Amino acid sequence: MNRLLVRGLAALSGPFIAAFIALALPAVAAAQTPLPMVEGEVRKVDAEAQKITLRHGEIPNIGMDAMTMVFRVKDPALLARVKPGDKVRFTADRVEGALTVLSIAPAD
């Protein structure tokens, strides 16, 4: 009986694999799309809370208009690179539901 089940699944696997690939490819492509660099200015650095307040331009990947707001940081070491008043370029995305700065560097 197991042999029959395996043969049946093997026969059906072609359409299922095609459907899986058709559904998975857009997600893989989205995961590989680089995040946009956003211009901003550091307003506050809170190393203890691992947060940064940025006045920033539009963040298109999360549908956010320009504003000033607080972000979590993916890596607390990022906060050592900046201080209030610094002009920066950064990437941000939703991580576990929270808006999070993933990279940050001084603006040129």
CA 25, CA 41: separation in Å to the nearest integer? 36
For residue range 3-48, list pLDDT tens digits in order.
655 565 556 566 655 555 555 555 555 556 799 999 999 999 999 9
The H-assigned helical ranges of the chain are 2-32
**pLDDT for position 2:** 55
Could you tell me the domains of the chain?
1-33 (no CATH), 38-106 (2.40.50.320)
CA 6, CA 79: separation in Å to the nearest integer? 55
Percent of the chain residues past pLDDT 70, beyond the cut: 70
Residues in the chain: 108
Q: Global pTM?
A: 0.70
Task: Using CA atoms of 41, 47, 80, 107 in order, give the dihedral in degrees to the nearest 10.
Answer: -10
